[in-house]
C-alpha cells in the first residue's frame, strides 16, 4: 500500500521528485532550480541550489526566471482574447494591420537565391500566424541557406548579440524578405510568435505588454511576469548561463543587473521575451485547465482554450514538426517529441514518454519546462538558469517529468 498524500500524489513519489532534482543540483551541472507541481488545489514546490554557479543566494519560490520559448504558450493568449471579442477573425488576411506582409513573394527553392521567387498563392491569414504556418520561421533543417542567413543578419530573431529592433522597423525588415513557403503550407518555428505580438499591438492600439498585463497578467495575479525585471526585483533574477558545450565551463550569457532583461526592450517578443515565476505560470496553466476560468472570472472562452490546446496541424505539417524533434537531437537533446502543435504550444498527439496525449505546453532554451495535462488535471513548471547549449537542462526536464508522472497516485 503506497502512502497517500491528499493531492493524488504519493508521498514516496514526491520524495523521488525531490531526490532526483537534488541529484541534478548536486552534480554541479545545474546550480539551482525551482519546480512546482500542482493537481487540483494542491501545490508542491521545490527550490534547490543557488542563484549563481559559484554559490551566493539560495533559490527561492519567488525567484524570477527568463522564460525563453516557454513565453509562447502564455503570449498567444492575447490573440485569443481578440478572437473572442471578434476584433480578429481566423481566416481574415492580416494585411490591414500588417501591410508590410501584403503581396508576398515565395522562394522557388528553400536554398535558392532571395530573388528567385513566385507570387504567393493567397494572402497571409490570422490563422496562418497563429498556427506558425505563415511562411517564415526558424528552420533548423535549412541553416546556412541564403534566407536563414538573412533572417539572422537582419536581427529578426532574439538571442543574437544585437537586440531586436522596435516593432515597426522589425516589420519593415520582415517585409523585405520573400517567404520560405506558401502561406498555410508548412509549420515553422518561432517567428510567427513574435509576429503575433506586433499584430496584437496594432489591433489594440496598446503595446503588447500593456494589453497582456491588463487582460491576462493582472486578472490572474501574475505580478512578476513581464518583458523586463524592474530594478526593485532584479535581485530575484539569477544570471543566465550558457555552458561551454566542450568543457562544460559556466559562461554568463546574460547578467541580471545591466543585462538584457534589466530595461524595457524595444521589442516585446512573444516568442521568447517573458520573465516570470513558478506561481505566475501555475496560475496561467491552471486557468487553461479550468477552461478559461480563474476563480469566478472568465479570462478566455472555453472554445478559445480548446483551440489553443489541441493539435492544429495536418499530417503533412506534423511530419515537419516531428522531424524538428527527432532529427535535431544534437540541438534539442531529445526535447519535444510530442507530435502536434496548437497555438503557441506543443500538444501531445501520441504517447512518446510518461505523459499522456493531450498534455500541452513547451520548453525554453534558458532551461525552462512548462506543461499542463487535462487528463490528470496536472500542472508542472520547472525553471533553471542553465541554457540548453549543453544537454544537462534537457536531461533534468526528462527526469522531472518522469518522476512527476511516477508520483501520481489515484
The pLDDT assigned to 336 comes to 63
β-sheet bridge partners, residue 275 = 66, 226
Between 323 and 195, residue with greater pLDDT = 195
pLDDT (mean) for 245-268: 95
The pLDDT assigned to 2 comes to 43
The pLDDT assigned to 324 comes to 77
pLDDT tens-digit readout, 276-331: 999 999 999 999 999 999 999 999 999 999 999 999 999 999 988 888 777 776 66
| 386: pLDDT strictly greater than 60 | yes
The pLDDT assigned to 373 comes to 97
The pLDDT assigned to 32 comes to 98
How large is the angle between the packed helices 167-175 and 191-204, nearest 10 degrees? 120
| 3: pLDDT strictly greater than 60 | no
Residue of 309, 337, 313, 311 lying closest to 323 (CA atoms)? 337
The pLDDT assigned to 146 comes to 96
Residue with cell 519535444: 336
Residue with cell 522589425: 170
Residues 160 and 27: their CA atoms lie apart, in Å, by 30
CB 53 within 8 A of CB 37: no
Whole-prediction pTM? 0.96
pLDDT tens-digit readout, 329-384: 666 666 667 889 999 999 999 888 899 999 999 999 999 999 999 999 999 999 99
* Dihedral sign for Cα atoms in the order 106, 111, 113, 116: negative
Dihedral of CA atoms 198, 73, 391, 143 in degrees, nearest 10, equals -40
| 135: pLDDT strictly greater than 60 | yes
Least confident of 13-22, 154-163, 380-389: 154-163
The pLDDT assigned to 4 comes to 47
pLDDT (mean) for 17-30: 98
End-to-end CA distance of the chain: 12
pLDDT tens-digit readout, 86-101: 999 999 999 999 999 9
The pLDDT assigned to 332 comes to 63
Q: Where does residue 398 rank: exposed (0-12), middle (13-18), buried (19+ CB within 10 A)?
A: middle
125: cell is 491569414
| 251: pLDDT strictly greater than 80 | yes
Q: 3-state class of 288 per DSSP?
A: helix
Phi, psi of 379 (to 5 degrees): -125, 140
Amino acid at each position: 500500500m503506497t502512502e497517500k498524500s491528499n493531492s493524488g500524489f504519493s508521498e514516496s513519489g514526491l520524495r523521488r521528485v525531490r531526490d532526483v532534482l537534488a541529484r541534478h543540483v548536486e552534480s554541479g551541472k545545474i546550480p539551482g532550480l525551482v519546480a512546482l507541481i500542482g493537481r487540483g488545489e494542491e501545490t508542491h514546490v521545490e527550490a534547490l541550489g543557488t542563484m549563481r554557479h559559484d554559490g551566493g543566494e539560495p533559490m527561492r519560490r519567488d525567484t524570477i526566471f527568463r522564460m525563453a520559448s516557454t513565453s509562447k504558450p502564455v503570449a498567444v493568449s492575447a490573440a485569443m482574447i481578440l478572437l473572442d471579442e471578434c476584433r480578429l477573425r481566423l481566416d481574415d488576411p492580416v494585411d490591414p494591420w500588417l501591410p508590410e506582409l501584403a503581396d508576398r513573394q515565395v522562394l522557388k527553392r528553400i536554398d535558392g537565391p532571395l530573388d528567385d521567387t513566385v507570387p504567393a498563392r493567397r494572402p497571409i491569414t490570422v490563422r496562418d500566424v497563429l498556427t506558425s504556418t505563415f511562411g517564415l520561421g526558424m528552420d533548423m533543417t535549412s541553416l546556412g541557406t541564403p534566407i536563414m542567413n538573412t533572417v539572422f543578419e537582419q536581427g529578426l530573431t532574439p538571442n543574437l548579440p544585437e537586440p531586436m529592433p522596435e516593432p515597426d522597423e522589425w516589420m519593415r525588415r520582415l517585409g523585405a524578405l520573400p517567404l520560405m513557403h506558401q502561406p498555410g503550407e508548412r509549420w515553422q518555428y518561432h517567428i510567427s510568435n513574435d509576429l503575433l505580438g506586433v499584430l496584437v499591438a496594432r489591433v489594440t492600439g496598446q503595446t503588447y505588454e500593456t494589453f497582456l498585463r491588463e487582460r491576462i497578467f493582472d486578472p490572474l495575479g501574475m505580478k512578476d511576469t513581464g518583458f523586463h525585471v524592474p530594478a526593485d526585483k532584479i535581485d530575484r533574477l539569477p544570471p543566465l548561463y550558457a555552458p561551454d558545450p566542450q568543457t562544460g565551463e559556466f559562461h554568463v550569457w546574460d547578467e541580471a543587473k545591466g543585462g538584457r532583461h534589466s530595461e524595457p526592450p524595444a521589442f516585446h517578443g512573444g516568442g521568447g521575451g517573458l520573465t516570470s515565476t513558478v506561481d505566475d505560470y501555475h496560475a496561467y496553466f491552471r486557468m487553461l485547465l479550468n477552461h478559461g476560468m480563474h476563480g469566478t472570472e472568465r479570462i478566455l472562452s472555453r472554445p478559445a482554450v480548446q483551440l489553443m490546446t489541441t493539435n492544429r496541424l495536418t499530417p503533412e505539417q506534423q511530419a515537419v514538426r516531428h522531424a524538428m524533434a527527432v532529427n535535431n537531437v544534437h540541438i534539442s537533446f531529445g526535447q519535444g517529441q510530442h507530435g502536434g502543435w496548437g497555438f503557441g504550444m506543443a500538444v501531445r498527439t501520441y504517447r512518446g514518454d510518461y505523459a499522456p496525449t493531450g498534455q500541452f505546453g513547451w520548453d525554453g532554451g534558458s532551461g525552462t519546462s512548462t506543461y499542463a495535462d487535462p487528463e490528470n488535471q496536472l500542472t508542472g513548471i520547472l525553471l533553471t538558469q542553465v541554457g540548453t547549449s549543453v544537454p544537462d537542462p534537457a536531461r533534468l526536464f526528462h527526469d522531472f517529468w518522469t518522476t512527476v508522472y511516477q508520483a501520481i497516485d489515484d
